[in-house]
Amino acid sequence: MLAHTEFGSAEAPRLLIVHGLFGSGRNWGVIAKRLSDSYRVVTCDLRNHGSSPRTETHAYADLAADLAELIEHLGAPMHVCGHSMGGKAAMMLALERPDLLDRLIVADIAPVAYGHSQMQFIDAMRGVDLETVSRRSDAEAQLGALGVEPALQSFFTQSLDVAGKRWRLNLDTLAAEMDKILSFPEVDKRFDGPALFLSGAGSDYVRTEHREPIKALFPEARFAKIPQAGHWLHADKPREFEAALRAFLSMDL
């Protein structure tokens, strides 16, 4: 079972939030707490991240099966919101197990293969000498020396267990499965439920040419952009992101 945290009343409609690559449920704590006034919000750690199990695979079919197990345990159906890699996992869940979802929100990702690797960040994290790290700022300094920008230094070190001298990320599996993470499986299914594809106006992850493959799999898809936000739109514009979720989840369809 995936590690998870719940916020809000058990009687409220359920919303599952799925983080992206190198993240964890804790990255979404502030937004989850704010949304918990109206929803039973669940944040989880995907496999090979945070406190969830380490495995040798990281295919989207596996991630979707993990999410299905969690939803069945907590009670279906749920609204599901996934960002980046978590968005692909949420899309795969919706396609494979539409009975478990009410509404789907996909944050700044499309069901397509991407050409940019994330291996440079795995190499940077592997390059940190954890034995010399006594606080997160030590690791951030080393990541900076390895060419990682400040915002990502802070993001990555949220997954650092300083006392245990280890990353809460299975870097070996994530490296081995990077091609699968960047791609998206061919699926001969579709999700006919409500879906919102929410992207950052300053991001190029969801482009005009992606709308056709999105509509093929999610015929009820709606599209929206958050101004002055990039790929990490929930971190760049958290209030606007929250407002977009509330509007979509509460609208009559």
Strands (E), the chain: 4-7, 14-18, 40-44, 78-83, 101-107, 160-161, 166-167, 195-200, 221-226
Q: Is 231 a catalytic residue?
A: yes
Q: Could you say which of 159, 231, 234, 236 is catalytic?
A: 231
Q: Is 84 a catalytic residue?
A: yes
For 151, other C-beta atoms within 10 Å of its C-beta total 12
How many residues in total does the chain contain? 253
CA distance 86 to 90: 6
What is the per-residue DSSP string for 34-48?
A: HHTTTSEEEEEPPTT
Residue 54 DSSP label: P
Q: Which residue out of 84, 159, 199, 203 is catalytically annotated?
A: 84
Edge-to-edge strands of the sheet including 101-107?
A: 4-7, 40-44, 14-18, 78-83, 101-107, 195-200, 221-226
Rounded Cα distance between 4 and 198, Å, is: 24
Query: CB of 15 within 8 A of CB of 42?
Result: yes
Q: Give the active site residue among 37, 123, 129, 172.
A: 172
Please give the positions annotated as active site: 84, 172, 231
